[in-house]
Homo-oligomer: A and B are copies of this chain.
């Protein structure tokens, strides 16, 4: 299988496949006499693994760690640790974003909208510090 077919079958862009190889996430495949990359099914399932990890928000560094575990005889505990650590990061991102959402909602709620040549959002951005908790004095 050449790179175009692999790309179509996995949904990973050709450039990204080559990038993963260069970045050391995927191994260097053998080449044809003409110098073209030749892939087998094992490579394909490994690439799909990488793709799913990325869809789940793991960084390439995380993926490298996971693959090392996969190759080096992992234990369930090690994999679980990485997964839970990643989940924690995501949870804290959610917390941050929810705070932003709230703040933006409050800002926009004060707007009259329309052609009014003055806006409480701008005023707030120029004056108000971002509130980190509910109990701080204004």
Chain A positions near chain B (C-beta within 8 angstroms): 45, 48-49, 52-53, 55-57, 66, 69-70, 73-77, 79-80, 83-84, 86-87, 90-91, 93-94, 97-98, 100-101, 103-105, 107-108, 111-122, 125-126, 128-130
Contacts and interface: CB of A to CB of B under 8 A. Distances in A.
Contacts of A122: 66, 69-70, 74, 79
Contacts of A66: 122, 125
B55 A130 contact: yes
A109 B97 CA distance: 25
How many protomers of this protein does the assembly include? 2
B126 A75 contact: no
A97 B100 contact: no
A76 B114 contact: yes
A87 B104 contact: yes
A67 B98 CA distance: 25
Contacts of A49: 125-126
Nearest to A56: B100
